[in-house]
């Protein structure tokens, strides 16, 4: 049973991962031109699912 602190931590981690993904967007665009993709969406999706399950 998630507590309020657990939900708050998950929310903060989720928001941080979204912000980091936005900040890494130029790097992701550059690496995609080379043929490499950054899997940042996996982290965001997992944290979103964890937060939704806790909420």
Domain boundaries, the chain: 4-54
Lowest-pLDDT range, 23-27, 28-32, 51-55? Answer: 51-55
- Percent with pLDDT over 90 in the chain: 75
Global model pTM greater than 0.85: no
Classify the C-alpha dihedral 38-32-23-19 as positive or negative: negative
**Cα–Cα distances in Å, from 26 out to 15, 19, 22, 29, 39?**
19, 13, 8, 5, 14
Mean pLDDT score of the chain: 91
- Span 20-30, average pLDDT: 93
Q: Which three-class secondary structure state does DSSP give residue 24?
A: coil
pLDDT of residue 1: 59
Structure-token pair, residue 51: 């937060």
């Amino acid at each position: 049973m998630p507590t309020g602190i657990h939900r708050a931590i998950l929310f903060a981690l989720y928001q941080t991962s979204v912000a980091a993904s936005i900040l890494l967007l130029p790097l992701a665009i550059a690496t995609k031109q080379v043929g490499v993709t950054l899997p940042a969406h996996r982290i965001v999706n997992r944290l979103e699912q964890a937060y939704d399950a806790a909420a």
